[in-house]
Amino acid sequence: MAGAVWAFISAAARSRRPDQILQAPLPGLASAGTIVPLTLVSLVVSEFPMHVLAVEAAAAAALVWRGALRRRSGLLGLGLAAAAWAGLVGARRDAHRARHVLTESLSAALGKGYVVRLPQDSPADDKVSFRQIWFPRLTERA
């Protein structure tokens, strides 16, 4: 049951209109009443999608090891978790497209030659290490 609840919350947090998703089962909630609590969940999911996937996969593996697949609810939970994982992989794919979108936007606004006017090397241009991906220092952004 907890996996289904988490899948619903994470799907709502990744949607474009989480307030509409939550107002169907909970019609008394105002828009601000649904957006504010989902801010933390959506921030974690959008900034660390692969971390969330690893935690969810570990939890699912532990439940499967304890025999969760012997019941229909366990199979349903695993199916919902797999759908959530597909969404997390999609979030990571979207994040990797951000550089291309930003480059196109800057080219449209500043002209094709804007890259020539930028400084040549920057520490942010270095390759990202395994440690930086999985154990980032939260005080720095690349």
Q: Look at residue 65 in the predicted model and tell me its pLDDT.
A: 93
pTM of the entire predicted model:
0.54
Whether residue 102 contacts residue 81, with contact meaning beta carbons closer than 8 Å, is answered with no
Q: Does position 16 have pLDDT exceeding 60, yes or no? A: no
How far, in Å, CA of 131 to CA of 113, rounded? 34
* Tens digit of each residue's pLDDT (9 = 90 or more) over 34-77: 566 677 777 888 888 888 899 999 999 998 999 888 988 888 88
Strand spans (E) along the chain: none
What SS3 string covers 97-123? Answer: CHHHHHHHHHHHHHCHHHHHHCCCCCH
Looking at per-residue pLDDT, the higher value among 68 and 11 belongs to 68
Choose between 138 and 114: higher pLDDT: 114
Residue 3 confidence class, pLDDT cut points 50, 70, 90:
low
Could you give the C-alpha distances from 87 to 13, 18, 44, 60, 124, in angstroms and in order? 11, 15, 14, 16, 28
Q: pLDDT digits over 88-131, tens only?
A: 898 888 888 888 888 888 888 888 877 777 666 666 666 777 77
50 touches 25 (CB < 8 A): no
Crossing angle, helix 2-14 and helix 72-96, to 10 degrees? 30
Return d(Cα 67, Cα 56) in angstroms, integer.
Answer: 17
- 129 against 141, higher pLDDT: 129
Taking each helix axis from N to C terminus, what angle separates 49-65 and 2-14, rounded to the nearest 10 degrees? Answer: 160
C-alpha span between 115 and 84 (Å, rounded):
38
